[in-house]
Structure 1
């Protein structure tokens, strides 16, 4: 298997993004522009001259100056992206091919990319359960917990409304107001806006919100669409929004409008 190391500066963006786009396990998080917005430095392992398989290697240096794998913020999981079958042999070959300069570190990857032998790295399998939307709304929500319907009842009593035409700055400002200003949150605040504008430029997503009758914003979610999945990237709900079931209403609105479509999303977003 021809696997070679490609420094970030020598990346062929077209070949790499094509691999992520057409991979059987492709994901929004794998595109180079998403990585550039979240990981300060990253390199790549590729299979073949045409990048039939590729594995991004986000990295940092520890206090001793040693390079280590590091999970980027705003990226729940990465992968060995491949248009070829994801056999255990192929996955293990990629992990074994990581240069010795990478002395260790941690990475969360989707289930098919977890190797049998993690070697010097700490590897976590991504959590989450896919909710398939290719059926009627009533069937999608049939096994939802009672708490979901209790929150929906609160949202109906509160007489909430959708908030439209939300710009990335408004989403980010609301998110920061809810989560508070810290050094990490300030970084997230700016990274969120870079990502949202990249997605809007590609017409791959939009912001949705819920507000009160007097115009108070209560909950927001910026949703992206890629690889037959809905990625609810950035969510925030105020205390008054939580009391009124605003985020649940936002998720329910999404389910109703996308029922019977060939899409899936993380079940945790739907049921809270």
Structure 2
């Protein structure tokens, strides 16, 4: 199996993004622009001249100069992306091909990309179930708990409304106000805006929100559409929003508008059925 190491500066972006796009296990998180905004430093393992399979290697270097695999912030999972069958042999070959200068560390990857022998790395399997939307709203919500409907009743009593339009800056400001200022959250604040503008540039998603009649923002979710999935990113709900059932109403609005479509909500960003 011809697996080659390619440093970040030499990656053919078109070939790599094509691999992620058409891979049987492709994901929003694998695109080069997503990794550039989150991992910053990353290299690549590829199979074949045309990148039929590819494994991104996000890395950090510690104070003694030791390079290690590091899961990027805002990236729930990565993978060995491939348009070929994801056989255990292919997956193991990629992990075995990680250069020796990667001394340790680890990644969280989707289940099919977990090797039998992780060697010097710590490999975590991404978990979660997908919510399929290819049926009626009533069928989708049939087994939801009573708390879900209680939250919807709260939202109805509060007379909440969807947000007509929300710019990335306003979205990020609300997210930061909910999660609080810190060094990590300040970095996320700026990274989120870069990612949202990348998505909007491609017309792949939109910012959704819930507000009061007087315009007070209560809950937000940036929804991205990729690989027949909905990725609800960077969600946030204020305390007032939680008391009024705002996030549940936001979730319910998404379900009602996407029922009977061949989509699912990504397992790493599961729809919240109840509080």
Q: TM-score range by the shorter chain?
A: over 0.9
- After superposition, what is the alpha-carbon deviation per residue over 1:85-119, rounded to whole angstroms, capped at 9, x for unaligned? 00011001100100010001021001110111111
**Residues 113-140 of structure 1: CA deviation (Å, up to 9, x unaligned):** 0111111111111121101000000111
The answer to whether structure 1 residue 123 and structure 2 residue 120 are counterparts is no
Work out whether 1:177 is the aligned partner of 2:177: yes
Q: Matches of 1:216 and 1:234 in 2, distance apart?
A: 19
State the secondary structure of the residue aligned to 2:223. Answer: strand
* 2:168 corresponds to: 168
Distance 2:75 2:100 in 1: 24
* Structure 1 position 62, deviation (Å): 1.8
Q: Deviations over 1:209-229 (max 9, x none)?
A: 000111100000000000000
Aligned partners of 1:53 and 1:203: how far apart in 2? 26
Shift of 1:63: 2.6
Structure 2 match to 1:103: 103
> In the alignment, is the contact (CA less than 8 A) between 1:252 and 1:270 conserved in 2?
no
The runs of 5 or more residues in structure 1 that have no matched partner are none
8 Å Cα contact 1:58/1:72 also seen in 2: yes
For 2:195 and 2:127, the matched residues in 1 are separated by 23
The answer as to whether partners of 2:131 and 2:271 remain within 8 angstroms in 1 is: no
Q: Does 1:202 align with 2:202?
A: yes
Q: Deviation string for 1:65-104 (max 9, x for gaps)?
A: 1000000011000000000000011001100100010001
SS at structure 2 position matched to 1:73: coil
Cα distance per residue 1:28-63 (max 9 Å; x no partner): 100000000001200000000000000000000123
Match of 2:127, SS? coil
Q: Distance in 2 between matches of 1:75 and 1:51?
A: 22
Matched residue, 1:186: 186
TM-score (norm. length: structure 2) = 0.97
Aligned counterpart, 1:214 = 214
Paired position in structure 2 for 1:86: 86
Residue pairs, 1:15-30, within 5 angstroms: 15-30=15-30
1-structure distance, mates of 2:242, 2:76: 24
Determine the structure 2 residue equivalent to 1:223: 223
Q: Is the 8 A contact 1:28 1:34 kept in 2?
A: yes
Match of residue 156 from structure 2: 156
Aligned residues: 272
SS of 1:271 mapped into structure 2: coil
Following superposition of structure 1 onto structure 2, how do residues 133-144 of structure 1 map, counting pairs within 5 Å?
A: 133-144=133-144
Task: State the alpha-carbon separation in 1 of the partners of residues 78 and 12 from structure 2.
Answer: 19
The SS at the match of 2:57 is: strand
Distance of 2:266 and 2:158 partners within structure 1: 27
Structure 2 unaligned regions, length at least 5: none
Corresponding residue of 1:269: 271
